[in-house]
């Protein structure tokens, strides 16, 4: 598995396995075991996904040395703040049955992010977390966090797919030595992405699938990518992207598909902020 080096010197696989929306713990445990057997070493979960315990069981039963795996989880908005974040880190470690995390992300740019970051910096210095970062932070929020804290975010995990290519955001992150990571690389199949004529043509040329072309396009941009699937064949298929390369012309052609629109919601939209706040209050 190809790896990239984060700004603090640790290495991270450029391809991983995501667990968003896999809420059935039995299925979550099975697919993580399947992914690890298929060669994945980066596993991406979150407290809000509700499947950390399943990930922990799968990792424990995998037979793979802990140091050969890269485990990411995330801090949910309801746990922001200094003391709450310290508790959340301990909870995630317990559920995952781990003594340390490879990467811990602030899941959303809401709540007491500064208090959370101080707690994360402490855990990073103590070796409990090997790298800290953010998710869904736009460039202005990333810069604000960076300018007023000692430890810079190592990673920003953002929506990046054919319809939301995030060219400017990715350039900003790279210029500030922050690794971009793509969630929803397939845009959940929206706008018939898997049958797009251009992708189908490029895929046929390389004897690959459109999904494999999408993942290859992302890693050739230097973006870490975490596709998700509950199907054995697709898990394997998504890993088979290191035996071909897209040409400059093909990369440019794919770039023309950008709609520059989120397929989910805009994190700067006040309505989105309100919705997440109301969701937290409802859960509490």
Which active-site residues does the annotation give?
A: 49
Residue the block writes with tokens 């060219």: 167
- List residues forming the annotated binding site: 107
- List residues forming the annotated binding site for substrate: 107
- Give one word for 282, left, alpha or beta, with left for phi > 0 and alpha for psi -120 to 50: alpha
For residues 85 and 115, the answer to whether their CB atoms sit within 8 Å is: yes
**Lookup: tokens for 24:** 């059935």
Nearest-5° Cα angle at 43, 130 to 227: 130
């Amino acid at each position: 598995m190809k790896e990239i080096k984060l700004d603090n010197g640790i290495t991270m696989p450029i391809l991983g396995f995501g667990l968003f929306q896999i809420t059935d713990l039995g299925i979550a445990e099975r697919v993580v075991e399947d992914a690890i057997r298929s060669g994945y070493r980066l596993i991406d979960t979150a407290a809000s996904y509700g499947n950390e315990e399943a990930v922990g069981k799968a990792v424990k039963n995998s037979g793979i040395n802990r140091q050969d795996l890269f485990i990411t989880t995330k801090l949910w908005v309801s746990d922001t703040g200094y003391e709450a974040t310290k508790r959340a880190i301990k909870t995630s470690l317990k559920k995952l049955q781990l003594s340390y995390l490879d990467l811990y992300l602030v899941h959303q740019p809401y709540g007491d992010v500064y208090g959370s970051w101080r707690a994360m910096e402490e855990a990073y210095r103590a070796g409990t977390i090997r790298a800290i970062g953010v998710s869904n932070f736009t460039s202005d929020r990333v810069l604000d966090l960076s300018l007023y804290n000692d430890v810079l975010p190592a990673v920003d995990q953002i929506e990046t797919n054919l319809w939301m290519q995030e060219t400017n955001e990715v350039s900003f992150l790279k210029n500030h030595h922050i690794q971009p990571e793509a969630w929803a690389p397939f845009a959940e199949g929206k706008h018939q992405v898997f049958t797009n004529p251009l992708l189908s043509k490029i895929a046929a040329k390389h004897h690959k699938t459109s999904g494999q072309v999408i993942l290859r396009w992302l890693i050739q941009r230097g973006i870490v990518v975490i596709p998700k699937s509950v199907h054995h064949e697709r898990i394997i298929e998504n890993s088979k992207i290191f035996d071909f390369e897209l040409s400059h012309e093909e990369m440019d052609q794919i770039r023309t598909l950008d709609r520059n629109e989120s397929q989910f919601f805009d994190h700067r939209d006040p309505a989105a902020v309100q919705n997440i706040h109301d969701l937290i209050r409802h859960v509490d």
